[in-house]
Amino acid sequence: MTDGAAVKGFEVDFEQLVEAARQRKREKAAKNFSLVEEIPAGESLTWAVTPEQVARINARNREALDGFYFANLRRLTFSAYRFMRNNAYLQSVISYEDLLQQVYFDLRTGVLKLRPFDSAISSAVYHSFRYAAVGGDDEVYIYQVKEKRKCQKAEN
């Protein structure tokens, strides 16, 4: 049997398989991070959000996300301005509105997972800002407490 004959009658839609795998990964992450987490010792929460609301956002609850987003819109806007000021080369490509939309989109699709303390939420927001210029990132990220305090790739 030749390879051409075996391949001829067998077609695979790789894009559909990849999208299905990504969807399963997002659903698994949403399930893993939908538990209510307490604020760790030594950390504070000054964002207008509760640990229960963080868990509902991670479970992709639209009402919780909208509540968080609009309650913190002023702070998110100032963060976007600061990001644009610190990364002036992006000003010719995107605007601060694009950064705000990217944060909302990433939280809505489950790409960003929040934790109920300030450094985790800020890290997640800035992580989203970094990928706004290239259309976002499709990997799930959650803040891990480490010495460098940066967003780490989540283990799924």
Q: Residue 134 domain-assigned?
A: yes
Structure confidence at residue 110 (pLDDT): 83
Q: Residue 114 domain-assigned?
A: yes
Structure confidence at residue 6 (pLDDT): 36
The Cα–Cα gap between 30 and 37 comes to 14
- The pTM score is 0.67
- Structural domain containing residue 42: 34-153
Q: Residue 116 domain-assigned?
A: yes
Q: Residue 137 domain-assigned?
A: yes
Q: Residue 127 domain-assigned?
A: yes
CB distance 119 to 143 below 8 Å: yes
Structure confidence at residue 7 (pLDDT): 40
What's the number of domains the chain is made of? 1
CA angle centred on 53, ends 101 and 38, rounded to 5°: 125
Structure confidence at residue 4 (pLDDT): 42
Structure confidence at residue 31 (pLDDT): 67
Q: Residue 19 domain-assigned?
A: no
Give the pair of three-digit tokens for residue 91.
């000003």
Q: Residue 60 domain-assigned?
A: yes
Residues across the chain: 156
* Chunked mean pLDDT (size 10), the chain, 156 residues: 46 82 77 72 89 90 95 97 90 90 91 89 91 72 54 52
The Cα–Cα gap between 80 and 35 comes to 29
The Cα–Cα gap between 129 and 8 comes to 45
